[in-house]
Chain A
Amino acid sequence: MEARTVRDDPDAGADVDGEDTKTRDPDRDRGWSSRSRHVVLPRVALGVVLLVLASLPLFLAPYPIGLAGRMLAFALLVISVDLLTGVTGMPTLGQVAYFGTGAYTAGLVGIHITDNGFVQVAAGVGAAAVLALFTGAIAVRTSGIVFLMVTLAIGELVHQVADSLSVVGASNGLAGIPAVTLVPGGEPLLLAGYVYWWVLGVFLVGLLVAYLVLKSPLGRSMRGVRDGEQRLHAIGQHTYPVKLAAYVVAGGIAGAAGTAWVAQTRFFSPGDLGFDVAAFALLSVVLGGAGTLWGPAIGAAVVVLVRDWLSAYVDGKGALMLGVLFVVAVYTLPRGIAGARWRRRSATGRDTA
């Protein structure tokens, strides 16, 4: 399923040369054998990835499992950034605002109302989507670099609110969030593995929603906005409602990512929605390959892995290694991680053709 996403949607913004299409087209006509390569194989790969993700708690220690959970939550945030940046062509630094809203809402619901995870996710997603509706109504009137800066302002304003609002712990952060439960009166998910599975569940549902939106008429309209607003006008489609709908959906998914993050860490502070998080989220999209879903997810995983895990082994050199990674990636992966895989496929196509 994911390879189809790639096929439909190679790379946002990048100029599309005919070469890849030409090399792909003959593949299509080769009947079942090419089907097996392009349809069945990715499904098998997806199954393997899911199996590996689900079985991580069986052979990883609690710390790396917690890291994997944070990775998934961040990846979902990055997917929401990609829905706007890669799919709709609206580069954003503001998704941290909805990420934070989801996280704080889930945390507050957990502390004051119920430790039921489903209620927390619903509340977090709802609050984030409502905030996205009101802020997006203004923000999507702009485009390009102005949109980028307006979303930066939104992110920073929410950051400042979080930093000064005592009900969410202000600059100290929101602590004392209880572990989530699945059923009323049930056992709280205290073991690292169970928490991870919950986060994985939220991630997969968020990914599924993003996938369905991408396959829907709205998804097509979003890509239409990216490729040519003027053209969309000419076929009688207002672009504002499309952009706003995309913004609200992306806001909701970012909110879900926030609830997953807070379920994993049971703590949230203004630093978790700062400018650097926003920048890393945006650049994970670029690193992974804008416009696809799995590319940015992998980009996000790589960024978290380098920043939080690898840096532990090289004495706090996370920022340096991220910097080197970014610079190297710009020159070696012109279409991001997703594009690298794509390019290799068309290269093999050329060999056999």
Chain B
Amino acid sequence: METQVRHRKGHRMTSTSAAGAGDDILVLEELTLRYGALAAVDHVSLRVRRGGRHALIGPNGAGKSSLFSVVAGTQRATEGTVFFDGQDVSGLTEVGRARVGLVRTFQHSSLFLGMSVLDNARLAVERAEGSPKRPWPNPRRDRRITEAALRHIGSVGLTDRKEALCGALSHGERRQLEVGLVLACNPSLVLFDEPTAGMSAAETERFSEVVESLPAEITTVVVEHDLDVVFRLADRISVLSAGRLIADGTPEEVRADEAVREAYLGKPRSEEPLFGTVA
């Protein structure tokens, strides 16, 4: 695995054509998203290792959300390619990407608020394993689906809330349930969009535990503001600034990186330690 921090100053990273071969589950090649003249995402190339805990950070307006939506399939890239699991998924919609195992969460947790926790999970399980359009009940198959749904609810710690109406859950519980829904989709990679935004410290702690407890074979990519969470959850960090990838490496490397300090603080050398509070 490459550990060297790559600075993107004028020169372009040489892209490999053998995308998706071997260790990397997600490969972005020269990804660009333009709104008119403005490039929200500017030739970003990035690799995410299979099973990795990847984080994407950057100051406000760096293009994190745009990059996220291009990878998730909500928006189509102007240029460039997204390879997932060795396959070019650039042409797939959000639905298509979810079906091949590239599943996203939402910044404002969006769930089926009028349905119970259990029904939320059942919906996702039915999509992944059953026949979501079967118009009649089938006791045996429905029981299997319920069991799987209960398993996923349990794995995010919501077993005792299974009958609760989703709209009655706390913000933190909704976040946990969202992870449960994602798990029910049998993902190989989960994209988290600012998952701890608006959470209390306790909720953030609880949520971090849930993400840490995810099976190792599920890769996670987190777009996050809270750097404490990032340094806790990630084993590799990519930094965006003004639509460009300015750094990509292990947490230690990124923490030591000058371009990153510059991007975050707007001046070359800061007297204060940037990530001083990291445990």
> Do A and B truly interact?
yes
* Residues of A that sit less than 8 Å from B by CB: 8-12, 15-18, 20-22, 25, 28, 212-213, 215-221, 223-224, 226-228, 230-238, 241-242, 245, 249, 291
Contact B95 A224 (CB under 8 A): no
CB of B124 closer than 8 Å to a CB of A: yes
Looking at the assembled complex, report how far the CB atom of B189 sits from the nearest CB atom of chain A, in whole angstroms: 13
Tell which of A216, A217, A219, A237 touches B95, judged by Cβ atoms closer than 8 Å: A237
Given A15-B167, A216-B137, A228-B110: A235 in contact with B127 (beta carbons within 8 A): yes
Q: How far is it, in angstroms, between the C-alpha of A224 and the C-alpha of B134 when the chains are bound?
A: 14
Query: For residue B130, which residues in chain A have a CB less than 8 angstroms away from its CB?
Result: 217
Query: For residue B128, which residues in chain A have a CB less than 8 angstroms away from its CB?
Result: 235-236
In residues 90-148 of chain B, which contact A (Cβ within 8 Å)? 93-96, 98-99, 103-106, 110-116, 119, 122-124, 126-128, 130-137, 142, 145
Q: How far is it, in angstroms, between the C-alpha of A11 and the C-alpha of B115 when the chains are bound?
A: 10
Looking at the assembled complex, report how far the CB atom of A17 sits from the nearest CB atom of chain B, in whole angstroms: 8
Contact A22 B106 (CB under 8 A): no
Query: For residue A226, which residues in chain B have a CB less than 8 angstroms away from its CB?
Result: 114
Contact B185 A12 (CB under 8 A): no
Query: For residue B197, which residues in chain A have a CB less than 8 angstroms away from its CB?
Result: none
15 contacts between A and B (CB under 8 A): A17-B168, A18-B167, A22-B168, A25-B164, A28-B163, A212-B136, A217-B130, A217-B131, A220-B126, A223-B112, A234-B104, A234-B110, A236-B96, A236-B99, A237-B95
Contact B116 A8 (CB under 8 A): yes
Tell which of A220, A228, A236 touches B98, judged by Cβ atoms closer than 8 Å: A236
Q: How far is it, in angstroms, between the C-alpha of A12 and the C-alpha of B114 when the chains are bound?
A: 7
Looking at the assembled complex, report how far the CB atom of B193 sits from the nearest CB atom of chain A, in whole angstroms: 10
Query: For residue B234, which residues in chain A have a CB less than 8 angstroms away from its CB?
Result: none
**Chain B 141-163 near chain A by CB (<8 Å), digits 1 or 0:** 01001000000000000000001
Query: For residue B237, which residues in chain A have a CB less than 8 angstroms away from its CB?
Result: none
Q: How far is it, in angstroms, between the C-alpha of A18 and the C-alpha of B169 when the chains are bound?
A: 8
| Residue among A215, A228, A242, A291 with most chain B CB within 10 A | A228
